[in-house]
């Protein structure tokens, strides 16, 4: 709220402006000439959403996740124009001719009975593969985007078969376009593992270590390893990736799932010529699972790595600024959105930024770093929860019992101390 100040209009001697004049009645009074009441300009400082991740400056922490929202020049340009902090393009490989998608490739889960078309969408499954566009076409579009948006962050998602020479060629060709970083897709759960790609690497720590070694020996820009949640302990492959030279971890990719069965036709969804295949699950329903996986990685990174040198990008069911705040509170430097854009459009970033700023204002946070990882210390073991609760109960019992000795009486709290020993 603006305060009120008294400001002089004239800049002469302030004492002479406070002249005493004598009226015809002979009484002295102060003149009001030369003074006015004005509102002081107190513009509250808005929270700063910008982040710097592995040396890459972003206007906000919201990143287009790899997938359909980053599939070509037109949509990536739209993302930059709408204000997204960074864009991760759809995953590319050397030979796009091997990538053949089917339609339909998506299925939705609603918060209602099987087959309902009215309930809120809470889950989304896809059986989509990586980019089916020729690599040369994607490379031209990467280069064009960097020429038109030199100060914006464009990250290339890449994937290859278990072949060192192929990985080295892909890295070299993509780097020449001027992209700012790599995200390595070690986590696509469907289609690609059949070719020893995607999750087939992310689920095998020995294989992951070898491939990460090839990649980091060749790459000259930051490398993020995108982790699969389809594993018992996600911290293990994340640790391997960081030890093998990656600068960042992104988690999670989609969860292997079967969306459902049509109870009229008895066929699975999404249905392609009467058949289907398990696919990747995303959207609101995966958010708690994603938070759990990110927590596991964040705790490992905090305990074993220098937090300032490595980054964590949170992914999973982000549709509100509050969803994003939860990932950041667990230690994420950035937050990715893919399915959310498919459901709500590229303009979603404005809502996300506004809601995240509201959260920051509520807690008087001025920057993302002010609260990044702030909730990590409040996670512990179940054994420790039992101990803490037992101690808290004992303390409450002690207070309820009242004073133990006459020497415990105090003057300040005398009434409350008396009441603590009253039984009714």
Backbone φ, ψ for residue 223 (5° rounding)? -125, 125
Residue 189 makes CB contacts below 8 A (sequence gap 6+) with 198, 199, 228, 230, 253, 254, 255, 256, 278, 279, 280
To 5 degrees, how large is the angle CA 186–CA 188–CA 191? 125
Task: Please report where in the chains the tokens 């009074």 appear, as a residue.
Answer: 29
Q: Which residues are catalytic?
A: 188
> Is residue 192 classed exposed, middle or buried when 0-12, 13-18 and 19+ CB atoms within 10 A define those classes?
buried
Q: Element (H or E) spanning 125, and its range?
A: strand 121-126
Nearest by Cα to 211 from 253, 165, 176, 177: 165
Decide the pairing of beta strands 4-8 and 35-39: antiparallel
- Tell me how far the alpha carbon of residue 226 is from its chain's centroid: 14
Distance separating alpha carbons of residues 289 and 334, to the nearest angstrom: 18
b/e code 46-58 from CB counts within 10 Å (16+ = b): ebbbebebbebeb
Nearest by Cα to 155 from 133, 132, 175: 175
Q: Which two tokens stand for residue 341?
A: 């854009």
| Cα dihedral: 68, 71, 77, 82 (round 10) | 10
């Amino acid at each position: 709220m603006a305060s009120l100040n008294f400001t002089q209009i004239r800049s002469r001697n302030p004492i002479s402006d406070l002249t005493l004049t004598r009226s015809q009645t002979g009484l002295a009074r102060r003149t009001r000439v030369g003074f006015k009441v004005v509102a002081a300009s107190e513009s509250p400082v808005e929270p700063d959403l910008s982040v710097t991740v592995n040396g890459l400056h972003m206007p906000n922490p919201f990143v287009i996740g790899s997938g359909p929202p980053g599939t070509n020049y037109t949509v990536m340009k739209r993302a930059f124009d709408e204000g997204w902090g960074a864009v991760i393009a759809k995953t590319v490989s050397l030979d796009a001719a091997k990538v053949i998608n089917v339609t339909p490739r998506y299925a939705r889960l609603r918060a209602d009975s099987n087959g309902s078309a009215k309930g809120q969408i809470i889950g989304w499954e896809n059986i989509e593969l990586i980019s089916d566009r020729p690599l040369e076409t994607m490379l031209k579009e990467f280069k064009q985007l960097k020429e038109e948006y030199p100060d914006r962050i464009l990250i290339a998602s890449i994937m290859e078969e278990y072949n060192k020479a192929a990985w080295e060629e892909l890295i070299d060709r993509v780097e020449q376009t001027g992209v700012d970083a790599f995200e390595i897709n070690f986590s696509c759960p469907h289609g690609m593992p059949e070719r020893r790609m995607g999750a087939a690497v992310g689920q095998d720590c020995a294989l992951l270590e070898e491939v990460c070694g090839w990649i980091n020996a060749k790459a000259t820009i930051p490398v993020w390893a995108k982790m699969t949640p389809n594993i018992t302990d996600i911290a293990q492959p994340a640790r391997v990736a960081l030890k093998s030279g990656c600068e960042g971890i992104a988690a999670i990719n989609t969860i292997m799932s079967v969306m459902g069965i049509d109870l009229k036709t008895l066929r699975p969804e999404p249905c392609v010529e009467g058949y289907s295949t398990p696919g990747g699950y995303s959207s609101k329903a995966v958010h708690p699972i994603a938070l759990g996986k990110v927590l596991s990685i964040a705790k490992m990174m905090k305990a074993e790595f220098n937090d300032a040198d490595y980054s964590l990008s949170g992914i999973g069911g982000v549709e509100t600024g509050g969803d994003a705040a939860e990932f950041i509170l667990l230690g994420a430097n950035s937050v990715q959105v893919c399915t959310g854009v498919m459901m709500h459009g590229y303009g979603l970033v404005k809502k996300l930024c506004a809601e995240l700023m509201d959260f920051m204002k509520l807690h008087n946070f001025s920057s993302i770093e002010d609260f990044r990882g702030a909730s990590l210390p409040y996670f512990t073991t179940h054994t420790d929860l039992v101990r803490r609760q037992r101690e808290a109960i004992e303390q409450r019992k002690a207070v309820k019992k009242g004073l133990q000795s006459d020497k415990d009486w105090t003057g300040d709290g005398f009434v409350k101390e008396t009441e603590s020993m009253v039984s009714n």
